[in-house]
């Protein structure tokens, strides 16, 4: 039931249709374009007014195209809302770290197996124990591997290919990563000594917060043809990895926000919020940040690749003797905190735009040149994880995404409770016990991490996905239910 009378956001927004709401340019002085929020009424009822302020603030930045957007999982973030999407003219626009976030190329990868739920369920507890032991996790966790500065440069520049060439995966993994696991334009000289120092010992670590490794099974298939293309079928076990660029990316963002704060003043860019520090897209400052951001993005793809390799080893040790080759192919890996130079059509003209996606993922349709060859007739896999005890979804990108959202979809469920509030109101041991009663085993370094990421601190993943599906930004292919979770 909507609480329209009590919620001030209804006084601000203009309803376009059931799942699209507009922030008019009259809402705040200086807005260059309207805002667009893709959200259902139940999700709008729990949207903070401050998130709408952030959408409007982004709409005031120079060179923004069409709209300042927010996906259905939107909530308050740094500068841009989480779930924010904005595209800026490649020549007359800006680049802003606030539109990417501190965890550069935080992303998700999904791996299929030939195992059935009944194969894994009896071994689930020791399997989770072994995964927890094999994958370093938690704040300050250190990797099982060590790399020197030259190897770190190779990671920054070559991305997933570095991992495969060093024994962490197979050639087929590369083609199933967004951008083939390697953005162009990396310049390691733009990465500070401090960022390097933080990055060297953390390659192949899960981190903390909302990062996770989840063992799942395919509960339902909605689109048989697309599911077959992705290698998914009902009853099949999959696993999902969610993490990013760790301390390296965080430090790269921190370093360049300071530089771009100065650049904003230098280029006399009026900022409604200092967290939107930015510089003209073609300026030295913006390009220096972009080159360093690419380094962090490539690092993140390697990080997930190394974790996947170790997960494959654990699964093999448990099941290979009995089941043979387990068919652990990478379905896809998507980024959801990154800026990319892309071609999009604006008023009938193709333009190069810096598309910022913060807590949003690409959702490119069939035939798009930037998706894998074997998904060309289907559309890009769009992976939207749930929240430990809730469903995750695999969707396929659709043509409407290019018209509505610059080829973008949501990236998850979106928080409704802060970590501080969650730890105050919930007890990790009780959350873990409740999940266990539902057949979901959780392993974490400390109970407070479980409380912070309890299912109830997030919006409904099903509600979020239904918005994307109904707008045909991306349509549902399969639903995955959790069996076991390793938390950072």
The beta strand positions in 324-473, using DSSP E, are 330-335, 337-346, 349-358, 360-362, 381-384, 392-397, 408-410, 441-443
How many C-beta atoms lie closer than 10 Å to residue 66's C-beta?
18
Does the active-site annotation cover 242?
no
Rounded distance, CA 329 to CA 177, Å? 12
Per DSSP, helices labelled H in 360-427 are 399-404, 419-425
Among 59, 128, 62, which residue's Cα sits nearest to residue 93?
62
Rounded distance, CA 164 to CA 305, Å? 8
On the 0-12 / 13-18 / 19+ scale of CB atoms within 10 A, 369 is: exposed
* Cα separation values, 176 from 106, 332, 393, 397, Å: 17, 5, 18, 15
* Cα separation values, 190 from 154, 262, 333, Å: 14, 17, 26
* Secondary structure of 275-291 as H, E, C letters: HHCCEECCCHHHHHHHH
* Cα separation values, 434 from 296, 428, 430, 441, 450, Å: 37, 10, 6, 10, 11
Rounded distance, CA 301 to CA 291, Å? 16
Per DSSP, helices labelled H in 267-413 are 284-323, 399-404
Tell me which residue has tokens 């407070």. Answer: 448
Of 75, 242, 309, 411, the catalytic one is 411
Strand partners, 82: 75
- Tokens standing for 404? 């509505």
CA geometry: angle 437, 410, 159, nearest 5 deg: 95
**Ramachandran angles phi, psi of 232, nearest 5°:** -115, 140
Rounded distance, CA 34 to CA 55, Å? 9
Give catalytic residues, as residue numbers. 411
């Amino acid at each position: 039931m909507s609480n329209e009378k009590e919620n001030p956001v209804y006084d601000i927004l203009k309803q376009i249709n059931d799942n699209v709401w507009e922030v008019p340019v009259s809402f705040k002085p200086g807005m260059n374009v309207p805002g667009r929020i893709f959200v259902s009424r139940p999700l709008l009822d729990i949207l903070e007014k401050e998130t709408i302020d952030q959408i409007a603030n982004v709409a005031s930045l120079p060179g923004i195209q069409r709209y300042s957007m927010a996906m259905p999982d939107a909530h308050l973030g740094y500068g841009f809302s989480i779930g924010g999407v904005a595209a800026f003219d490649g020549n007359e626009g800006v680049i802003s770290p606030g539109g990417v976030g501190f965890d550069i190329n935080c992303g998700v990868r999904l791996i299929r197996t030939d195992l059935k739920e009944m194969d894994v369920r009896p071994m689930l507890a020791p399997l989770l124990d072994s995964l927890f032991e094999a994958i370093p996790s938690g704040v300050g966790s250190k990797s099982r591997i060590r790399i020197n500065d030259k190897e770190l440069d190779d990671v920054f520049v070559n991305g997933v290919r570095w991992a495969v060439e060093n024994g962490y995966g197979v050639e087929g993994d590369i083609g199933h990563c967004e951008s083939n696991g390697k953005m162009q334009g990396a310049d390691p000289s733009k990465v500070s000594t401090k960022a390097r120092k933080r990055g060297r010992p953390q390659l192949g670590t899960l981190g903390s917060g909302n990062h996770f490794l989840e063992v799942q099974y395919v509960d339902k298939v909605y689109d048989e043809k697309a599911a077959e293309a992705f290698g998914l079928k009902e009853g099949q076990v999959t696993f999902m990895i969610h993490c990013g660029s760790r301390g390296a990316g965080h430090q790269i963002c921190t370093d360049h926000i300071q530089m771009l704060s100065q650049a904003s003043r230098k280029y006399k860019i009026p900022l409604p919020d200092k967290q939107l520090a930015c510089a003209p897209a073609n300026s030295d400052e913006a390009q220096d940040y972009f080159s360093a951001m690419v380094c962090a993005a490539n690092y993140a793809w390697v990080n997930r690749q190394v974790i996947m390799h170790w997960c494959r080893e654990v699964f093999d040790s448990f099941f290979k003797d009995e089941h043979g080759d387990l068919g652990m192919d990478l379905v896809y890996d998507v980024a959801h905190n990154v800026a990319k130079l892309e071609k999009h059509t604006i008023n009938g003209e193709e333009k190069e735009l810096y598309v910022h996606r913060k807590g949003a993922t690409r959702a490119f349709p069939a035939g798009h040149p930037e998706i894998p060859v074997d998904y060309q007739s289907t559309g890009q896999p769009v992976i939207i994880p749930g929240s430990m005890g809730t469903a995750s979804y695999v969707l396929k990108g659709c043509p409407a995404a290019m018209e509505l959202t610059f080829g973008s979809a949501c990236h998850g469920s979106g928080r409704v409770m802060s970590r501080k509030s969650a730890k105050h109101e919930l007890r990790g041991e009780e959350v873990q016990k409740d999940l266990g009663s539902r057949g979901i085993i959780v392993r974490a370094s400390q109970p407070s991490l479980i409380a912070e990421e309890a299912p109830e601190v997030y919006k409904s993943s099903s509600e979020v996905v239904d918005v994307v599906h109904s707008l045909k930004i991306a349509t549902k292919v399969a639903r995955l239910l959790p069996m076991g979770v390793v938390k950072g």
